[in-house]
Every structure is written in C-alpha cells, then in structure tokens.
Structure 1
Amino acid sequence: MNRWKLILLSIISMTTIGCSNTPQKALQNEIGKSYNEITSARKNFTIYFNYGELLTTQSYEDGSILYIHVSKSELSKSTYLGVYERVSYKYSIYAFKVKGDIIIDWAYGLYEPESSSSFINVFALEIETSNNQPYLFIENNYRQLLKTSDGSSIDSWIDNSLSASN
C-alpha cells in the first residue's frame, strides 16, 4: 500500500510542478538579465524559454525600448476527408521593457482569434489559405492585450518614460 501512495504522490508532485511554470513566472525570472541573451535560442548550451518571433519595437523618451514577441500555438484542429483542415491558434504575446540591454520589466498577453486558419493538404503539402491578420491585429492592439508585471496597462511605461525625461 505504501508503494501506491508513493507513486500517487510522485504523480501529483510532477503534475503540480509541471503546471506551475506559467509564462508569467518565466518572465519574472528574466528581470535584470540581458535581453539579447534570453532571446537567443541557445547560448553556451543553455536552453531559454521560447518567446517567439519579434513582432515590433518601440523606443521611449527615457532611452528604454519595448520589444514585443509573439508565439503561435495550436489550440484545436479538425480535418475534412483528410484534405481540408481547420486549425485554431492562440497567440502568446511577450513584451520586454529594456534599457541598456537589461530587462527592467515585462508584460504578457494572450490573443485567441475567433476565426480559424484553413489549410488544403495535397500529397502531405499544406497550403495555408489564411493570412497574417492575427499578427496585424496584435501589432495594432498590443496596448489593450498586454498587462505588465504589476497587472497594469503598458501605457504606464509610456507615462513613466515621459515623467523620467522631464
């Protein structure tokens, strides 16, 4: 009986530890680190969290720079006759406020578009029939989608940079 309790406890522990690594916890660990180092896929055999592609940047008056990355992941997939597929994605949005290559704050957001991407599968070659609308939407609306490490809008970063430069 003790053996089963140990196995059950091990499974619960692994599940809890695995689920507790949220994007926010990963971002929190990046404050004070070099932006260039953590956004490199691999450096000195160290694997970093994948923050996705760089979408856009914005410079602030106080000399800091906002870097916004987007990572796309599949939510659901349906196939019709093995030829036509509909895929739903979610987009994780990671923003870093960086000054002198050092991360001074972060923001995170999630975007789940209502529409799905469509693919035509011909002889195992997938041809996407949708466009980059989610990326354009995120680029144009990231201020509404992102929350900073303290839960506020990233507009607070703009306000803080303006007061710091005066």
Structure 2
Amino acid sequence: QKDYLIVLLEKVTHLAIANQLPPSESKHLQNVFITEIELCTTTAQLIETCTTALLLFTQELADHQEKIRSPLIDQISEYIKNNLNAPLRIDELCAHFDLSQAKLKYLFKIELQMTIRQYIILQKITVAKQLLCTDSDIQKLPQALGFSDYAHFAKTFKRLTGMTPKQFRLQNYQK
C-alpha cells in the first residue's frame, strides 16, 4: 500500500508541476509526504496522510494560480463579488470592462480554468454557504444573490454542494 501511495504522490507532484506549481515546491511537498507515508503503521494513517497530501497540493496550486492572475481578471472578479445581488450578464461585463465576449470568455478559461458563468455561480454559492452559517433568512438568499427564485437557487446549490440549503444550514449553523 505504501508503494502504491508513493507512486500516486509522484503522479500528483508531476501534475502540480505541469500546472505551474514551482518544481522545488512540488518536490519539497512530495518528500515531506513520502516521509510521512513511510512512518504510517495503519491503513487509516495512510489514508489520512494521502488525503492531507492531496488537499495541500490542491491548496498550493490554488494559491499559486491566485498569484499569477492578471490584474484585469482581479478587477473583473472584484466587480463580480461586489455585484452578486444582481443578475450579472456577460454583455454588461464586456461593456463595463471594454472587452469583447470572446476575450472575456478566453481570459476566464485560460486563467481560472472555468467559464465566466461558472465563476459567477461559484461565487454566489460561496457567499450563500457563508450566509447559511448565520441566522440569515433562507428564503431571502436567492434575491440577495441575484437568483430568479428559491427553486432555482436550491437546485443550483444542491448541484454544486450535494445538499439542499436547508441541509447545509442544519449541518453547519451553530447558534
């Protein structure tokens, strides 16, 4: 099992490097986790170490991607975050930032590896999750986040999180 996980870790390291995580950083993480794997004595410890390694590699990649984003993408992202309560339209974003739709879509696909529509929805769901951890009114969330109605909001939320807004609140809200 240890050998299999070490091979898996090598593949993750190569993927991280291929996705522009600096090789020195990738190899350092790999070495740290190989040492951890070698010290494991149970299957549960191996699984936990492997899970931790995958999460850390993912976080490092995300952090690295944030650092290399263009200032324009940062400006557009900030605009989107500040206007989540509105039904954001791509043509309006293009006009606001003086970009063609093709250029805007290309920038998001290249720099964030997702479409602009996916990014907007992801931001709305991220804010919804934060609000669901408070005592905010669940029925008012769709309007506050620019969804047309509660059914559309709930369907989108469940598709992305695997649970309904009410289930998420029950699991995460603590008075």
Higher normalized strand content (fraction of residues): 1
Same fold (TM over 0.5): no
**What TM-score results when the alignment is normalised by the length of structure 2?**
0.24
Higher normalized helix content (fraction of residues): 2
